[in-house]
Structure 1
Amino acid sequence: MALKIGRGASAPPFLVMDVIAAANARAAVLPPGAFADGLGILRMEVGQPGTGAPRGAAEAVVAALEAGAPMGYTEAFGLRSLRERISAHYAERYGAAVPAERIAVTVGASGAFPLAFLAAFDPGDAVAMAAPYYPPYVNILTALGMRPQILPCDAATRWQPTLAMLKALDPRPAGLILASPCNPAGTMLPAEEFIAIARWCEAEGVRLISDEIYHGLTYGTVEERSAAAHSSSAVVVNSFSKYFSMTGWRIGWLVLPEDLVRPVECLAQNLFINAPHVAQVAAEAAFACRPELEANIARYRRNRDALLAGLPAAGLDRLSPADGAFYLWADIGHLTNDSPEFCRRLLAEAGIAATPGVDFDAARGHRFLRLSYCGPEADMAAAPSRIARFLGR
């Protein structure tokens, strides 16, 4: 007799992880001098900064280990000193008063989303989001028995939802996931639109989940705002993975409204116990590493500018504005209607790993791909010419 397999086991793959595996396999068999530019596989598939943790963060961990720090359990919400430092960050950057008691340190943003969703929503609840979207939003909600409500967006709305779009929803969803800057398009909501949406959600009883993991990675075209400064009911998700360049440390945080503090704490105690102690030590020290981190942003800006200048002539001329984060959302509908096959050939023939758009938009993603530009400058500079050759330009 066949054994039952749970509903959660049917979650679709996060395709970028499959692309990473394919790129690793291709790199392992790549002969020397395979490409005229002398470089290997250009890794443009994943949002992982090419730099590691800032030096001060690594040094803080070494010092703690050499001092014999036990690195045992912390409180479920994390080290008090780290939570206080995050609280100070909100006052310094956004002018927002966020007490440490409302901050939960989590196992990355990936660990924060299930906590937020379980505390804020019930099975069957509809949670709205713009398409294209970060795939785990949909996959986690679905695994938890909730209903993703997709709002198709396009270049006319800068790949972001509009207040008019939300007001037209009947019935109202239980929640809205908002990301500014967003993954995969890198676009941002203008400050007045962001604030209007945050206030509408609070007035209409729609729980706002504000994904702010790309905060700090902006290029001056749109003002950055945090929901923590504009809504008392919003949940803010952030992470040390992107701006702080600490992806593998698996450390993030939540800013919680008062009514969700204890529910999330109980969930965290049972599901995760606490985020890794050693990562919390590194995270606290990372706040003192601003000059190094700002230098990283300058590199991303140069990469962004090089691609925006070079890709149109190479044949990719339908690109998102790229206000923040480190992604370009490219419309390749004039070249193909099969983005997975296009990305497979791009890797095999041109040595460029890119993520097919179907990962981010099941309905329309077959004609898009995402390019990440947080890798080495030499690699990003080489990408347009490789793409041009691949497309016969």
Structure 2
Amino acid sequence: MEHLINQRVKDIEISGIRKFFNMVADTKDMISLTIGQPDFPTPLHVKEAAKQAIDGNFTSYTHNAGDIRLRKAASSFVQTKYNLTYNPENEVIVTSGASEAIDIAFRTILDEGSEVILPGPVYPGYEPIIKLCGAIPVYTDITKNKFRFTADLIERQMSEKTRCIVLPYPSNPTGVSLTLEELEQIAALVKGKDIFIVADEIYSELIYDQAHHSIASLLREQTIIINGLSKSHSMTGWRIGLLFAPENLAKHILKVHQYNVTCAASVSQMAAFEALTEGIDDALPMRHEYVNRRDYVYERLIQMNLDVVKPDGAFYFFIKIPDVSMDSFDFALSLVENAGVAVVPGSAFSTYGEGYFRISFAYSMDTLREGLDRIENYLKHLKR
């Protein structure tokens, strides 16, 4: 029955991040620096709120867009943190993780043959959904621009078929964010054109050297914001995402969401409500620790004479592979086999990631120290 499978589904693949992680998961004495998942537990008060929801039998369907208390909390959160105003009644949708928010946003705005401009390298979760919609991903090489996806680079890729630009900042895999001035230039370029911005801001609470700025503050009517609790509150498994869009957009996105999942899990919604109210600043101590880890990892990488851009957000380093005769997959595999360290091949993040590898510093200092020691010893062996 293979010949009956939707060809677009057959043409996409499992994420390169997960593919490599799964491949080495059972290897003994392995130090894994692969997955972008906070190593902190979900805050205790958030877990207690979920228990109370269960005990109170809050286990039924909610409004398709999410419980109104949570939508109000989400609206208040982005107003307080980023000075963004969204009506909780009709401009906020609670989703089953940010991944579902990306899916329903693309399925609402893309048609057959629409073009979507993305930075390269980039998180691999966008391209498959774009292709499933019959649209075309158009990558922009940002490797020669210190991983900055700027207006001049975007303009070169724009055409009459451009329907959407994806702004994923802070970035996975590079950890780079955009300045307010850079966002203003992008907004000026796109303003008034029939082009949407999908702003994936899932790491907005994990930015270290400047305040987070959302392009929605400059281009609200054309922007769909993707956010959620996974990274900010260490709630990856709770699967709560947040989508913010002007009413004329949100009402259509909600239809796709309704037929996709009906509503996000009710118990998780009550945990998220607690996180966005009583836990509004839960990310701060985690962010402080990430800064310490980032600075430690950066110094170690520089000491190894590796070519790397210091990240100012998220928890990743995207590192140029030393001058060796291996592609990124073979280099990562060699690290596993010869050093007992798992990283993510840069090729997982589009063809523009080839020649790089990604490490996550969402791990304990002990794990980072041991992993970097092993990488350093491996590189010394390569140079012999």
Q: TM-score, with normalisation over the residues of structure 2?
A: 0.93
Residue in 2 that maps onto 1:275:
264
What does 1:1-393 align with in structure 2 at a 5 Å threshold? 3-6=3-6, 7-26=8-27, 30=28, 40-67=29-56, 69-100=57-88, 101-155=90-144, 157-172=145-160, 173-220=162-209, 222-231=210-219, 232-287=221-276, 288-290=278-280, 292-315=282-305, 317-362=306-351, 364-392=352-380
Q: 1:37 maps to which residue?
A: none
Report the CA distance between 1:237 and its aligned residue: 0.4
Contact persistence 2:120–2:353 (CA under 8 A): no
How far the C-alpha of 1:242 sits from its partner, in A, is 0.8
| Amino acid aligned to 1:203 | G
Would the alpha carbon gap of residues 13 and 354 (structure 1) be closer, same or farther in structure 2, given more than 3 Å must change? Answer: same
Question: What is the distance in 1 between the residues matched to 2:334 and 2:180?
Answer: 40
Aligned to 1:165, the other structure's residue is in SS state: helix
Report SS of the residue matched to 1:312: helix
Q: What is the rounded CA distance, in whole Å, between the counterparts of 1:242 and 1:133 in structure 2?
A: 17
Give the Cα–Cα distance (whole angstroms) in 2 for the partners of residues 277 and 244 of structure 1: 18
SS at match of 2:74: helix
DSSP 3-state at the match of 1:204:
coil
**SS of match in other structure, 2:203:** coil
Q: CA deviation at 1:336?
A: 4.1
What is the Cα deviation at residue 170 of structure 1?
4.7
Partner-residue secondary structure (3-state), 1:237? strand
> Residues 63-108 of structure 1: CA distance to partner in whole angstroms, max 9, x if unpaired?
22223x2411111111100100010012111222211120000011
Secondary structure of 2:25's aligned partner: helix
1:122 Cα deviation from its structure 2 partner: 0.8
Q: Secondary structure at the match of 2:65?
A: coil
Q: Which amino acid aligns with 1:289?
A: G
1:145 aligned counterpart, secondary structure? coil
Q: Secondary structure at the match of 1:113?
A: helix
> What is the TM-score normalised by the length of structure 1?
0.91
Residue correspondences, number:
376
Shift of 1:183: 0.8
Q: Which amino acid aligns with 2:250?
A: V
Q: Aligned AA for 1:71?
A: T
For structure 1, the residue ranges without an aligned partner over 5 or more in a row are 31-39
The answer as to whether partners of 1:90 and 1:97 remain within 8 angstroms in 2 is yes
Contact 1:191 1:223 in 2 (8 A): no
Shift of 1:23: 3.2
1:337-382 per-residue CA deviation (whole Å, 9 max, x = no partner) reads 31111111212322221100001122x4331101100111211122
Report the residue type matching 1:269 in the other structure.
Q
Tell me, yes or no, if the aligned pair for 1:198 and 1:208 is still in contact at 8 Å: no
Cα displacement (A) at 1:13: 2.0
Q: Which segments of structure 1 move beyond 6 Å, counting only runs of 4 or more? A: none
In the alignment, is the contact (CA less than 8 A) between 1:54 and 1:293 conserved in 2? no
Give the distance between the partners of 1:11 and 1:2, measured in 2 at CA: 15
Residues 41, 352 of structure 1: 8 Å contact kept: yes
**Whole-Å separation in 2 of the counterparts to 1:298 and 1:392:** 32
- Structure 2 CA distance for partners of 1:24 and 1:167, relative to 1, 3 Å: closer
Q: Which SS does the other structure have where 1:319 is aligned?
A: coil
- Looking at structure 2, the residues matched to 166 and 384 of structure 1 have their Cα atoms a distance apart, in angstroms, of 36
Distance 1:378 1:292 in 2: 23
User: Counterpart of 2:358 in 1: which secondary structure?
Assistant: strand
Where 1:149 maps in the other structure, the secondary structure is: strand
What CA distance in whole angstroms lies between the structure 1 residues aligned with 2:222 and 2:188?
Answer: 10
Is the 1:98–1:228 Cα contact (8 Å) retained in structure 2?
no
Quote the offset at 1:48 in angstroms.
0.5
Looking at structure 1, the residues matched to 374 and 24 of structure 2 have their Cα atoms a distance apart, in angstroms, of 16
Give the letter aligned to residue 11 of structure 1. Answer: I
Instruction: Give how far 1:10 is off.
Output: 2.0
Q: Are the equivalent residues in 1 in contact too, given 2:138–2:157 (CA < 8 A)?
A: no
SS of residue paired to 2:13 = coil
Distance 1:314 1:163 in 2: 33
CA offset at residue 244 of structure 1? 1.4
Deviations 1:101-142 (A, max 9, x none): 200000111101111011111121000011001111111111
Return 5+ residue gaps in structure 2 as ranges.
none
Report SS of the residue matched to 1:203.
coil
Q: Read off the aligned partner of 1:386 and give its amino acid letter.
A: R
Superposed CA RMSD in Å reads 1.7
